[in-house]
Structure 1
């Protein structure tokens, strides 16, 4: 039997006889004893002779193995051509019998493997001593427990938890003074050897020994009182009282980092919550690239869990699911809302859904919304903050925002100005430096200090309460002076953590936000690590999530990371994995965040696909600037990918950035493969026929697509190209050719699905309108509109029905137009962005039929809806339409007011010169000749484009000039101007009504029900007015 002693000076004996071994043989024997089993010769050679050439190292090993076999016996050393090891049945060692008081393993040996072995042996001793101490404590023998703990601490002189256990056991044994000495010696060693202060549990243990009467019994830190902010808290409380009474308002709290913004709003939130209010808190993400509306995902998520599900049939909860699926699920909705195609309309739908959630939450209780760190919020979140803020005046909602004073965020200033201009009360609170007396209270509440140390903490803080807290904690931990910076304080705490703890802390810092429990689990941290980092005092836990106590602490931690790339890689991977494993989450919603972390980790190869997913997700939310940014990142990762340039070009097209659209298109065209060109030209044609609305350019693109089609091109692509060509021909070229193209498209799909039927009939409708065959519109619209509804394409149903209504109205079939419009309203009900223009058409047609009271109610509904949508185009257009309805009903005062309001908006959703003339008419009808004359002069100053139908403005101007002359009592001029107007309309009478309709549609950008030029109607009206004036009567007299 070979017996090997490795504790102390290594030695060996065989059958009781000592064996003389050279140093190389002792090292080889010790290694084989500590690592049982066979070892590959190459691995052993490189381990023992790492600096030697491979051949030399292997030769040295052969010599050592030969010598070891001779010394200990060939039967003990087991060798093969590839491996070397010991026969474990013939070897015994003292390592298996650890003695806490015995010598060190392989004392003085410098090799890495020897050091690792010593660590493992020490850990075995530590576990044995911990078990002995626990057993003694369980047996009510505190002295023995303290003795075992002391021996354990001698093995790990810098282990803080072990020393805390020793201090507790010494105190239990009646040796409180000895416990304090142990604590002081530990603080000194940490400072001298590591330059760090002790962790919070150690500080707490020391404080409990020094001041037992102050020792707390709770499991977490008590809530500290709010010091030094009485005036600011009173201002917030007053604002909250006003909001609770139904006078909603916005308050912004501004101050430097660490000045106490979060502490102040947390105190108000606590009071509001205690009073039964609904409280939701969200924050801007500290780093990375958050998904659009990331802050509102957080706010909405808190609200949906404190409100009851809305009644069945309510559409907005499903729309909320666009933001995050779990939001809709929490409100009892699992269905996905139908798309409406245009990104801007998608954004408005999401915004309206969030607003309705806030209104629903406020319908039963007052609501406190807190948006923290808006200086970091994404642009879409800021825009939604403004949208919500503008609607709060009559709601019991206080919207509280916090921001740093630097760097400047113009969007925040614009938000305040905008909201304040809409009649919502806006308050601003600037938090300045805290006075010394309040800082002293903060320091005393943070740690047990004498007054000298309190004064030092106050001086170090320079008015900043966060610095006061950290300085107080450092002094309480035994440091002689407060750390010079927050970063130094964080550095000291990081030095107390083991590797897993530090990695977890760095990952939370890299995330820039709270990491949820599933995300922490995805990091795979060892048991106990979370508590370890919580004990540092840098993090807090809330609802299972870990978050830095303050953003400045996270910033300081990021600056002290050992491997920033690794922390971002781990954080991004964990966030993605947690989202993928959550059936209620949308992994695409975190794609931008994950991609940002992968970019920071230097892994663009992994980031690229995530940027693509993030861009598509942003597009579904209508967040075009963010989508463009994400596609730009994807292009940076793969600059030679033509498909990515094409995606970026399309987003620029939707954004109205024509130069950027053409630039990216040219780049895409140069990079795409020949078999990709047809689809690319087809997509270009779609952009040019929709948001850009350039029919000739669109037709050219579709023609190029047709020329690029390969023989094996997919049927769907062929159909899309044919339909695009047909639309272009009907809009800008030969409608007869469009009919031929439609027949070809129909032949490709003999059994089309509903969506394809709707698309074909939509183009067919445009063709028959262009050909002036208005009597066919109803049948085409009924086929296409019904198919679109079945296919859940409300956007297509809207386009078909309202275009048909426009054509029928132009053709004189007002009742038929009304039926199509009512069908459009039914199909789009609940989708405000589509329903609003349908209501516009409905109000116009009702007025046209003399049903003025109904028209007025519909116009009011449209106006309310547009006000909720809160965009200049929608509000301005709705006020214009309401003004025209009022004018048709001879309500001249209302008409002038509404039209004046509409013209104040910078919108081109209606003809501005025509609106000026209508306003002048309303003023003249009130007898306000001077004001009407001034409005006529302003008409001449308006920029006139093709959509204004310049030829039609001349007879309209002449008629209004006649009305102004009549208001002045000049009957001759009145009659002359009316006759000039009649002659002008007669010159146009008989023109191609189909072409005129298409021109209106293309140039105005919306179905022109309320903007039609109708010569027959104008001629009939003028003929009646001339007869009245010629017979001594008046028209449009003052009411």
Structure 2
């Protein structure tokens, strides 16, 4: 059921012809009962509505008669229908069937929905809904009836109608439907002549139709009407809309230009530039005419800046003229003609300066005027207007003007003395406009030479301004990029910023990372693509060829690689690069000799416009260029190569993409990025040819191991599949690697545990065919360790595996392989204990303790070593522990005890079985050298001569020598003489650091710092067997020598913590002295008092240990 209350009151049903209500009294009663049906209408109010001029004497019975007519009208011929009107408690309540619609209520809903659709940018729906509401609301409401209630409804209906007309007009303007836009706006103004929003709609409609002068005329008519009728000025919103027109001229199809930001964009930032422009206007108001040239790249906001001042001048009542220059314009002096024509059209005749008929005629019809007459007319208008009042003249895109424009500009510069004229011109940064004439540069030089020109170079917005823009444009948008990310993406270009913000704010855009193959929406704003096309159109073909290839190279690119991929000769590449740099499309990255796009969003737009086939070709060309030109440093390019080979992979599998993916994943793992490694391995797996089962087995295993390292639960299934495929393809070593990883995963989980054990048993018990390589003994030993940990019996015949593991551990000595050494030692220990080989167990426990000590976490491993030695009863183990005991005694300042224990040391024969270096039992004397240094004397006879250069130099320094020790320390520190490798390295470097501090030479100290900095958490010693301080101790003291006080404080504070745990009292005291020296030298508030406290504590500790006090 549809009830029409506008026009002829009607009830329409789908199954019956429309029925009309003819009685005027019944019409108004029905209308009120319908509109108030939710709460009902009191009998008195209904009677006052039916008889507004006064109630008849028998109004009660008459009202019942009217209500009866209404009841019959609603029911129609349906006698069995329930009563539609209920009288209760003095009120009448109308009940309509479910689904009944009232035209006035529907129209109000349509007006609301139209406004919401317009706000979302859905202009077609907005115009349709608003037009439907207009069609209803423009019909009269109860034209034959008057009264207070009827008048109120008519007023609300009229307000809704004007709102609908305004929305329909704005939506039509946005859709470039100029005819309807102006029709709706004119009707809104006719119905509400004093409503400024309706006039603003009409101004917008004229602009959409290309009639900016008409829009300006509408504004002046409104201003005059408000002044005459109400004695007021237009509201700020209307004045701002007028000023906005000055910066929104119509785009013509005669030229290609970079897109401009929409006029609705807020003005944010640019405080300094706007202040300079405003200062220039203030000088013009005082009679100092001049010109300001605003330059910058397309889209950076030049026009927005000059029109922002135009708004403010217009709101303040000033005169603003605007004109834009078009390339190859058909009208001479186009910008001046546009500005002058708009001013004349928008200004009442009596407000114009005294102009001759010839002047007005030339401006009105410039095409029929001679060049001379037009130049004279424009000069006459501008000079006379600026003589009477300040004039702000905007010449947009001046670098695209014709020769006559520059002739007129020079003439104004010569004749404007004594006037108040400010010319604000915009132009692209030199190099951005290849069509710019030479006359532009010549004219700018002329006016600059005359002192008439001021320049403002407009750069991109900074992070603070971008943050303010976000708050204005997209305040509630989730997951927006951070301001610094947007600046990095756009270089602060206003147009690109607005495009990205609106694109991110669009709730209907597709997610570029969703991977939905059915999504047809772009992954970048269309405006960004238009901008990229416009910028690319402004450079030559060779430069475009270079940039299209560079866009595929990524965020940064190297010229020679991109040039080879683009098939450009060297001189062509340099010419193209110069063009791109001059156009500010690319810039050089400092210190890297690489280049990058100024706006990365432009790079992505260029890349995405290439076809998929061309992208694959570009990536393949780039990868080939890297392999050709960087053959000796491909490891550095592993990630880049993986990307290009994957992006350029041929369909149905590409082995090059697979293997480069593995190399990049290995590099990612080394760099501490396990999840990136997983991603790269997944990518590689996708490119494995379907028929290459061996390659797939390797890819699955590599992926599973990467998932294991990243802590991802799905690794167990991946590893099992990899092991099975490798085993069935004869890749036993690869299957073993998968089995090792799988065993580690299932050790604490029941799932696949039995499968892992069975797989290992199968591998260690397999005798491979002659064509298949056997598993090496170290890997066999590692598999046996997994069996032991899984609770399975270890088969006999483990000696070859244990021997191989011991030899491998010897190769892993030193700080470079601590983690791998600790892991392999633990595996060897598990096998040795499973087969009850106590000798090999001591060797394994030793290596594990050495690795743990190097990493600074040796307590548990040392306890395990002691336990293994006690159970084994081997002389080898006791000699190792005695070395340790001497080191502890010296570290804690128990020097007499250390000497006594040294006499008990028995050297273990250097046989071929244990392969432990230095030989167990030989380090006690070397530790006493450290004791001699701590005591500051070398005459105790605690240590004997040694052949180690570092130790000889320290002995000499303790004895007071300096020359030869300095040469030795510096030669070792700078790499002139090689340092020992393996476990000896940390101990020797620790001794060198002690010597460097004694020498006090900053250059030598800096060389030692560089050696130690990668190992700041290291303890300097031969594992647990000696101790020569910690790396943090040495780094802190060396930092004091070079004057890096903050670094010294950081390292020395860390050293104090470690020494406290070791009860290393002599080292603690020396650390406190060094820290006191650093603080005194730094001299911050409180440093001196703390230094005094530290020095007092240190000297007390040294005295208690019978060591001489020191100043540092």
TM-score bin (small chain): 0.3 to 0.5
Q: Which structure would you say has the larger Rg?
A: 2
The normalised TM-score by structure 1 is 0.34
The normalised TM-score by structure 2 is 0.32
Considering Cα pairs closer than 8 Å and 6+ residues apart, tell me whether 1 or 2 has the greater RCO.
1
